[in-house]
Amino acid sequence: MATENTITRTETPLTITVIGAGILGLWQALTLARVGHHVRLVEKSSVPFADSASRYAGTMLAPGCESEHAPEIRDFGAHGLTLWRATYPRLVNAGSLVVAAARDSAEATRFARATSPPQTLDADGLAELEPDLGGRFAQAFYFPDEAHMTTPDALVFLLDAARMAGVAVELGAAWTSPSASDVVIDCRGMASASELPALRGVRGERLVIKTREIRLSRPVRLLHPRHPLYVVPWTSGRYLVGATVIESEDTGPITVRSALELLGTAYALHPAFAEAQILETGAGIRPAFPDNLPHAEIRDGGRHIFVNGAYRHGFLLAPVLAEAVAAHLANQTPHPLLVTSEPLARRPHSV
Ligand SMILES: Cc1cc2nc3c(=O)[nH]c(=O)nc-3n(C[C@H](O)[C@H](O)[C@H](O)COP(=O)(O)OP(=O)(O)OC[C@H]3O[C@@H](n4cnc5c(N)ncnc54)[C@H](O)[C@@H]3O)c2cc1C
């Protein structure tokens, strides 16, 4: 796995249409424009991000913690972090913490076995990092190299960065048919399901709350056998509390059961969360393939590339997928996240 961006500027620019301005489409458009391609980004919603799953994300960049779900995430995610650090100045590089109530020590043992945390802190070590959690947990796992951000700010930043890199952004424009571009990169999320039969949706509910009664500097995950939860500190005293993982494509509002579970677990993390104001609730559908890893699938001789299936890792892996597609268009070595049912497509000729 490369550890830095190895894609150089193209000498033969292509015209590229990227469909969908969620996190995957934004990173594709930005990366491909920065290497010199002529990029158009088409988004059906006239209000940026209004119809995207990306707006609901907690935006933790946590390859170590998330390797609990798939070991491959660790290496791909570490590279994703490197690319975010090179691009987004407001990334908060404060690491992440994982705690468990004493009665859930079996969960802590299972998590540690699955993820090999770089550091285990005792109660004093935890209090040093997060004074407001002092005395609440006997131990914590610390992943110092992880990062997080405030979701709406990061999405707006990327859209602006894409425009500044020369991307022609078309909002309120639903893509329906083949385009005259050399390459179409399809990042429509769940809207691509009819063409990607293996794609399924995994519902994630979350709340945004606000309080000045407690101060956290980094995401904290509370392990639990049924209701694991994380709290991500956003700017201005806001916290994202998430997230359910439900095998359902129901796009309806958060249920009472899920709200009770999430808020109850936040209260278990610290009772001061009881005084927080609920600013926002919402549910997004995470597009996922059966292995829960994203793919860039090349079709039509390389003219149509589906980038999808980011599951819980859209923010973490979007830059890696963008780099993989840019490398493919530059005829570089195939990337493990690229798949094709045809003989490996070569770079299409400009028309
Ligand atoms: C509650 C929750 C918490 C999460 N937390 C994290 C996290 O901490 N870290 C992380 O890395 N990931 C996280 N994720 C996962 C991440 O949000 C997803 O993987 C990611 O949003 C998927 O992005 P996407 O670009 O594929 O899809 P989307 O964000 O849904 O974007 C698709 C876009 O395509 C547009 N579109 C659809 N059809 C058309 C058309 N015909 N023409 C033009 N445009 C079209 C849509 O309007 C939409 O804007 C979380 C997800 C949820 C739900």
pLDDT in tens, 205-247: 999 999 999 999 999 999 999 889 999 999 999 999 999 999 9
CATH of the domain at 283: 3.30.9.10
206 with 115, same domain?
yes
- The share of the chain scoring above pLDDT 90, in percent, equals 85
Q: Averaged over 76-80, what is the pLDDT?
A: 97
Residues with CB under 6 A from ligand 1: 19-25, 42-45, 51-54, 56-60, 174-175, 187-189, 191, 204, 206, 242-243, 284, 286-287, 308, 310-316
Distance 117 CA to ligand 1 centre (A): 28
Same domain, yes or no: 307 and 231: no
- Is residue 164 domain-shared with residue 276, that is, in the same domain? no
Query: Residue 176 corresponds to which tokens in the numbers above?
Result: 């329906």
**pLDDT value at residue 5:** 54
- Looking at residue 332, the DSSP 8-state letter turns out to be -
Q: Tell me, yes or no, whether 154 lies in a domain.
A: yes
pLDDT band at 176 (very low <50, low <70, confident <90, very high): confident
If asked whether residues 138 and 158 sit together in one domain, one would say no
Residue 117 covered by a domain = yes
Amino acid letter for position 293: L
Max alpha carbon distance in the chain (Å)? 66
Judge if 123 and 232 occupy the same domain: yes
Tell me the three state secondary structure of residue 64: helix
**Residue 332: which pLDDT band, with cuts at 50, 70 and 90?**
confident
Angle (deg, nearest 10), helices 151-164 and 23-34: 30
344 has pLDDT over 90: no
Q: Are residues 279 and 295 in the same domain?
A: no
Domain membership of residue 275 as a residue range: 96-144+200-288
Predicted confidence (pLDDT) per residue in 124-171, tens digit: 999 999 999 999 999 999 999 999 999 999 999 999 999 999 999 999
Q: What's the structural domain count of the chain?
A: 2
- Torsion over CA: 315, 286, 66, 336 (sign): negative
Residue 305 forms part of a structural domain: yes
Per-residue model confidence (pLDDT) at position 349: 38
Q: Is residue 245 part of a domain?
A: yes
* One-letter amino acid of 268: A
Split at pLDDT 50, 70, 90, the class of 333 is confident
State whether 119 and 222 are in the same domain: yes
Q: What is the pLDDT of residues 235-279, one digit of tens each?
A: 999 999 999 999 999 999 999 999 999 999 899 999 999 999 999
Instruction: Name the least confident of 35-39, 304-308, 334-338, 339-343.
Output: 339-343
Q: How many residues does this entry show for the chain?
A: 351
Tell how far the Cα of 104 is from the centroid of ligand 1, in angstroms.
Answer: 32
Among 18, 26, 30, 44, which residue has the most ligand 1 atoms within 8 Å of its CB, making it the best to mutate? 44
Of the ranges 72-76, 128-132, 178-182, 192-196, which one carries the lowest mean pLDDT score? 178-182
The whole-number pLDDT of residue 331 equals 82
Q: Is residue 230 part of a domain?
A: yes
The structure tokens listed for 115 are 């993820």
pLDDT above 70 for 6: no
Q: Which atom number of ligand 1 is nearest to the Cα of residue 62?
A: 9
Atom 26 of ligand 1: nearest residue by CA position: 189
- Reading the block at residue 202, the tokens are 């995994």
Report how far residue 93's alpha carbon sits from residue 97's, in angstroms, rounded to the nearest whole number.
Answer: 13
- At residue 341, the pLDDT reads 65
Residue 73 lies in a domain: no
Residue 61 lies in a domain: no
In this predicted structure, the answer to whether residue 123 has a pLDDT above a threshold of 50 is yes
128 and 187: one domain?
Answer: no
Using an 8 Å Cβ cutoff, are 97 and 220 in contact?
yes
- Do 170 and 270 have their domain in common? no
Q: How far apart are CA 25 and CA 20, in angstroms?
A: 5
Q: Which of 15-24, 66-75, 86-95 has the lowest mean pLDDT?
A: 66-75
Ligand 1 closest atom vs CA 315:
11
pTM above 0.85, yes or no: yes
Average pLDDT on 303-320 reads 97
Give a yes or no: residue 49 inside a domain: yes
Q: Kindly state the average pLDDT of the residues 31-54.
A: 97
